[in-house]
């Protein structure tokens, strides 16, 4: 069962690129990696998902190396509104059930 | 289109009391989930329902029961609340279980004294 580890917090400045890494050493062949963003007093919101190599959408990129033991969420040119907690999620499918394991989250503070 | 709604938003219980948290979605999703989030921690899956009529345990099911009343509604029941169940509870839904994007409700903040 994949256990996820993330840095507790990160600081950045407006306009910079931010990379947040999630470690998932025990990831299985069929597991997927998803990232969510959460603002205070709100439910998490989907950002991006991937299986391997690189995925890009309009808000972020996700890099997954060949061994898939980690993944990196990349936020280009952050703004103050990107201040939030970011969670990685590993989704594992068993024979007849699923396991969804969230990381403990990385609190990103973007300064002016 | 309200997405995922949860009631109540806040609740205070005494130890031993029971209550049911309600969740509904209007996106015609097959799968629904209940999570708890403790301060400074990530979300932990309590139960999920892959489709109407089915439920499965997640990471922390003890002390909880669930009912998938129909395709729209998925309720979480605490039969005998304990202080350790003080948490924020989130309901979510997705088209199918697993790799599909989950849409979360606004959460229910529960305090057990």
**DSSP secondary structure letter of residue A27:** -
Cβ–Cβ contact A105 with B under 8 A: yes
Quick check: bond before A58 cis, omega within 30?
Answer: no
In the predicted model, residues of chain A with pLDDT beneath 50 are none
- Contact criterion met (CB below 8 Å) for B9 and B106: yes
Query: In chain A, what residues touch B27 (CB-CB under 8 Å)?
Result: none
Q: How confident is the prediction along chain B (113 residues), in pLDDT tens digits per residue? A: 789 999 999 999 999 999 999 999 999 999 999 999 998 788 999 999 999 999 999 999 999 999 998 999 999 999 999 999 999 999 999 999 887 899 999 999 999 99
- Contact criterion met (CB below 8 Å) for A77 and A15: yes
| Contact state of B48 with A98 under an 8 Å Cβ cutoff | yes
The pair of structure tokens assigned to A104 is 């403990």
d(CA A51, CA B27): 26
Percentage of chain A exceeding pLDDT 70: 98
**DSSP secondary structure letter of residue B61:** -
| Contacting A residues, span 63-102, partner chain B, CB-CB under 8 Å | 87, 91, 93, 97-102
């Amino acid at each position: 069962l994949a256990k996820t580890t993330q840095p507790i917090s990160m600081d950045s400045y407006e306009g910079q690129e931010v990379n947040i890494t999630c470690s998932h050493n025990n990831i299985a062949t069929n597991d997927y990696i998803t990232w969510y963003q959460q603002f205070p007093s709100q439910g998490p919101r989907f950002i991006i998902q991937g299986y391997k190599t690189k995925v890009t959408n309009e808000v972020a990129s996700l890099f997954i190396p060949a061994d898939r033991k980690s993944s990196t969420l990349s936020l280009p040119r952050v703004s103050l509104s990107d201040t939030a907690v970011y969670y990685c999620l590993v989704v594992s499918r068993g024979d007849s059930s699923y396991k969804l394991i969230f990381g403990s989250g990385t609190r990103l503070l973007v300064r002016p | 289109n309200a997405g995922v709604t949860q009631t109540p938003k806040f609740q205070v219980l005494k130890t031993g009391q029971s209550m049911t948290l309600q969740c509904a979605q209007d996106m015609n999703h097959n799968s629904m989930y209940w999570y708890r989030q403790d301060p400074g921690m990530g979300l932990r899956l309590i139960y999920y329902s892959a489709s109407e009529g089915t439920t499965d345990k997640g990471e922390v099911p003890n002390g909880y029961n669930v009912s998938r009343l129909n395709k729209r509604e998925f309720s979480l029941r605490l039969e005998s609340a304990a202080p350790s169940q003080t948490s924020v509870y989130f309901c979510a839904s997705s088209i199918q279980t697993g790799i599909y994007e989950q849409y979360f409700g606004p959460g229910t903040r529960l305090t057990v004294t």
